[in-house]
Chain A
Amino acid sequence: MTTTTAAHDDHGHHGPAKGIMRWVLTTNHKDIGTMYLWFSFIMLLTGGVMALIIRAELFQPGMQLIEPEFFNQMTTMHGLIMVFGAIMPAFVGLANWMVPMMVGAPDMALPRMNNLSFWILPFAFGMLLLTLFSEAGAPNFGWTFYAPLSTTYAPSSVTYFIFGVHLMGISSIMGAINIVATILNMRAPGMTYMKMPLFVWTWFITAYLLIAVMPVLAGVVTMMLMDIHFGTSFFNAAGGGDPVLFQHLFWFFGHPEVYIMILPAFGIVSHIIPTFSRKPLFGYSSMVYATASIAFLSFIVWAHHMFTVGLPLVTELFFMYATMVIAIPTGVKVFNWVSTMFQGSLTFETPMLFAIAFVILFTIGGFSGLMLAIAPADFQYHDTYFVVAHFHYVLVPGALFAIIAGVYFWLPKWCGNYYDEFLGKLHFWLSFIGVNITFFPMHFIGLAGMPRRIPDYALQFADFNAVASVGAFIFGFSQLLFLYIVIKTIRSGKQATPEVWEGADGLEWTLPSPAPYHSFSEPPQVK
């Protein structure tokens, strides 16, 4: 109470409250952003441990360490935790930190809701994780939870899973509304839409995607709940329901979800590459249009996840063509990044290394995505390790590398100190090598015919599985180095200038480092 009064007396220098209650009650965008980022890092390690359990079991053919039942729980929880617990909250955390600073606002538009949307998450994931210790075990039907495996044949913990998904959805929708409200209402005078930084643009579009599709996910899990507990038959063929309906609904959410996890990454990379090329972003307006096109297309391609369910021929053709079209705006983005680097004056600090790796490895993921779009060939790729390789290429050296790049890029602004460049580069090279050793061989074993989500495999897949497992451990443990670097930077390090990077451009770099508790108390003027 005393501290609050003292702070109120000291106008213009609002400081945070002291102790644990600072974090529980905070409505400050930086505090909440920090909590989001730490939460997602904890989830990254949790989901990472599960990935390592999976890779350890798959190191050799035969069952060595765990039982098939627990293996299925691990693949399911790994997917759910990485998608909903690590990648999505990390982007929300970055948005919390950066969007107000980039648009010249003091804070987010809806600070109390901001607090609530974060604090829901630990409970949602706590509940999900606790099912691991229940008698029935954790959900075991894959992160895509296809009915009827997830309804009629599910363990009883599925009800907790459904409640958890509802909570995550509420959190995401509130976070998205907040970001939209901030961007629409709190931009500095003079910042027209086509002057917004690309991270703001990509998040603006992502937020609309979230608002559009999270209710669909909530709807589909509610239908599951009804089927399980209230005697309906939405997805139960024996009761006149339709298991394929589940997949249509799930992927109507699921495909935009893929772009929810990559559009903000595009934004981050579109800041880092110009900065370290010392050159403005090439084709700003085409970047914005490409992002919007990808977002639009994401709503009309969902059934490319369902090429083998027996859709009619015309449906297959439509979804094949629509999916192939996505390659065009995505290609435009890649070409723009390369052109931004062209004739620049390049330096290779850690954020730039991660950003360049993003462009190359995400493009490789894009290539395999294009191959998967070709419906006839997809009959051979579908549900194999080729798909596993594809989406890990877009999500790990794609989304995750962009998040890591963003953290290195903005960390000096957040805490006022530069990170240790040598350690940062070491972290990059370990991650880069590890990620490729892990996921590249998965293309081979997938094409050679290994289905995904199997706890044991035929002998011809043994060699590459062993290689992938070694890579996974290299990649996994190098993330502990990341933790060390971040903690070290928070505690000490070379004092950062307000501009931080030589080529930095944007309102966030006009604030001192570390940025003040309330970003802009006077709106800056944008020319």
Chain B
Amino acid sequence: MKIRTWLSLSSIALLLSLSSLAKAEWGVNMTEGVTEISQSIYDLHMLIFWICVAIGVVVFGVMFYVMFKHRKSKGAVAAQFDESVTLEWLWTVIPTIILIAMAVPATKTLVEMYDASDAQVDIKITGYQWKWQYDYLGEDVSFFSNLSTSRDAVYNKEEKGENYLLEVDKEVVIPTGQKVRFLITSNDVIHAWWVPEFAVKKDAIPGYVNESWVNVPVGQEGIYRGQCAELCGVDHGFMPIVVRAVSQADYATWLDEQRAEKEAAALAALGDYSFDELMTTGAEVYAGRCAACHGQNGEGMGSMFPPMVGSDIVLNDVEKHIDILINGVAGSAMQSFAEQLTDVEIAAVITYERNAWGNDTGDIVTPRDIIDARQ
């Protein structure tokens, strides 16, 4: 008796410690999120979950009872019944009623999710292999958002930070207390834009513009992280989404800053840059934007992504080199960088590629060359 009490007590303690562990570090459940929609989806999820648990307890309960009681080794003799129309009706009708009970709240939530009308802010989101472009419609603000975790962290050469793989070089900023509509599309393959805490997940499909929306309540300002959710090629695992929700006043300030930055960049392209300055900037741009496909040392990857080292275009054909950066290569993963990089950055990365890793052409491409080429 004593042993049994001790056993049951200790197993309860074990269960408790396991469940507290589960809460502490081992995420086991869906997030409740921060919006009304995400909350009702969470409630729906828990409702269905508990219904399933209840059914499971009954069905598996009967099974285990049978497995212990009706064993041949305990002298059970088999009954020979094999039919009951009443039972068949019963277990057709009862599940039907349960299903209808589930369908009602599910329909209600879905109808709400599909109502993207009366949005106060429109952001067009375009998926690229493997980054997101955010376009604030009517605000003249547009930028790309790339993974900022370093390749060295991925390859275990340096410590992984707290937000490993869920951090970007430029966050998308939205105001709280306003209905923000996302218009989601893609430039190449299918991606999916997903932020769990908003319960927003929508495929980004070339040729389609999908709608989704979020209204982050005032007081819930903060950083929300997500990831691409549709297999989109090699770096599918490396295109995170980071949203910063700010108050409406901060949002207006932020928009102004963006416009000012853009003007400053246009001015900067008219300045003069030394070879060393271009090489330094170029190396940064290369590591952030090019290395994922063309290799950290320009060695290329597989048959899809050509090497930079010893490439004929890189060594001999400046015009073609600039053209590829600005217009991309049709039908390949090489996209246009005209919108993604500033003139200075494009000039710098071309200069870098033509002089790094023993290419040593001595060519200098200036931002003015890029401005000319764009025309």
- Tell me, in angstroms, the Cα distance from A255 to B337 when the chains sit together: 40
Q: How large is the interface on B (under 10, 10 to 19, 20 to 34, 35 or more residues)?
A: 35 or more
Q: Does A277 lie at the interface of the complex (its beta carbon under 8 Å from any beta carbon of B)?
A: yes
| Given A243-B206, A341-B67, A343-B66, 12 new contacts (CB under 8 A) | A243-B190, A244-B205, A278-B78, A283-B84, A331-B95, A338-B62, A343-B81, A348-B67, A376-B109, A447-B28, A449-B196, A459-B162
Residue from B28, B59, B232 within 8 A of A448 (CB atoms): B28
- How far is the CB of A442 from the nearest CB of chain B, in Å? 11
Interface residue? A56 (CB, 8 A): no
B residues bordering A, Cβ < 8 Å? 25-31, 40-41, 44-45, 48-49, 52, 55-56, 59-60, 62-63, 66-67, 70-73, 76-84, 87-88, 91-92, 95-96, 99, 102-103, 106-107, 109-111, 113-114, 129, 153-156, 160, 162-166, 188-190, 192, 194, 196, 199-203, 205-208, 210-211, 226-238, 301-304, 331, 333
Instruction: Please indicate the chain B residues that have their CB under 8 angstroms from the CB of A453 in the complex.
Output: 231, 236-237
Measured CB to CB, the closest approach of chain B to A311, in angstroms, equals 10
Instruction: Tell me the bound Cα distance from A62 to B238 in angstroms.
Output: 11
Residues of A within 8 A of B163 (CB): 458
Contact of B82 among A68, A280, A327, A383 (CB under 8 A): A280
Asked whether A463 lies within 8 Å of B28 as measured between CB atoms, the reply is no
B206-A374 in contact (CB<8A):
no
Closest approach, in angstroms, between the C-beta of B81 and any C-beta of chain A? 7
Interface size class of A (residues with CB under 8 A): 35 or more
Interface string of A209-244 (1 = CB under 8 A from B): 000000000000000000000000000011001111
B56 touches A367 (CB 8 A): yes
What 1/0 flags go to A454-468 for Cβ under 8 Å of B? 111111110110000
Q: Which residues of B contact A3 (CB under 8 A)?
A: none
Instruction: Assess the B67–A456 pair: CB atoms within 8 A.
Output: no
Contact B110 A463 (CB under 8 A): no
Tell me, in angstroms, the Cα distance from A375 to B106 when the chains sit together. 7
Nearest 6 A/B pairs, CB to CB:
A237-B207, A454-B237, A448-B27, A310-B210, A367-B52, A280-B82
Within the assembled complex, what's the spacing in Å between the Cα atoms of A64 and B91?
Answer: 51
**A465-520 interface with B by 8 A CB criterion:** 503
How far in angstroms is the closest Cβ of chain B from A397? 14
Q: Give the CA-CA distance A316 to B63 in the complex, in Å.
A: 36
In the complex the two chains form, is B106's CB within 8 Å of A374's CB? yes
Q: List 5 A-B contacts (CB under 8 A).
A: A152-B188, A155-B304, A282-B81, A341-B70, A343-B70
Judge whether A120 is part of the interface by a CB distance below 8 angstroms: no
> Could you count the A-B residue pairs with CB atoms below 8 Å apart for me: how many are there?
293
Identify which of A63, A342, A370 contacts B154 (C-beta below 8 A): A63
A243 and B27 form a contact (CB under 8 A): no
- Is A283 within 8 A of B164, CB to CB? no
Say yes or no for A171: interface residue by CB 8 A criterion: no
User: Looking at the complex, which of A4-12, A124-132, A136-144 is the stretch in contact with chain B?
Assistant: A136-144
**For A344, what are the chain B residues with a Cβ–Cβ distance below 8 Å?**
66, 70, 76, 78-79
Inside 8 A of A140's CB, which chain B residues have their CB? 233-234
A304 to B49, CA, bound (A): 19
Q: Which residues of A contact B208 (CB under 8 A)?
A: 237, 243-244, 310
A68 x B237 contact (CB < 8 A): yes
Chain A residue nearest to B53 (CB atoms) is: A367
Contacts of A282 in B (CB 8 A): 81-84
Please determine whether A377 and B45 come into contact, CB atoms closer than 8 angstroms.
Answer: yes
Please, which residues of chain B bring their CB within 8 A of the CB of A23?
none
CA distance A253 to B172 in the complex (A): 39
Given A136-B302, A137-B302, A343-B79, the answer on whether A310 and B95 have CB atoms closer than 8 Å is: no
Binds B, one of A90-98, A106-114, A294-302, A358-366: A358-366
A444 and chain B: residue at smallest CB distance: B28
| A456/B66 in contact, CB under 8 A | no
Q: Which of A373-400 contact B (CB under 8 A)?
A: 374-377, 379-380, 382-384
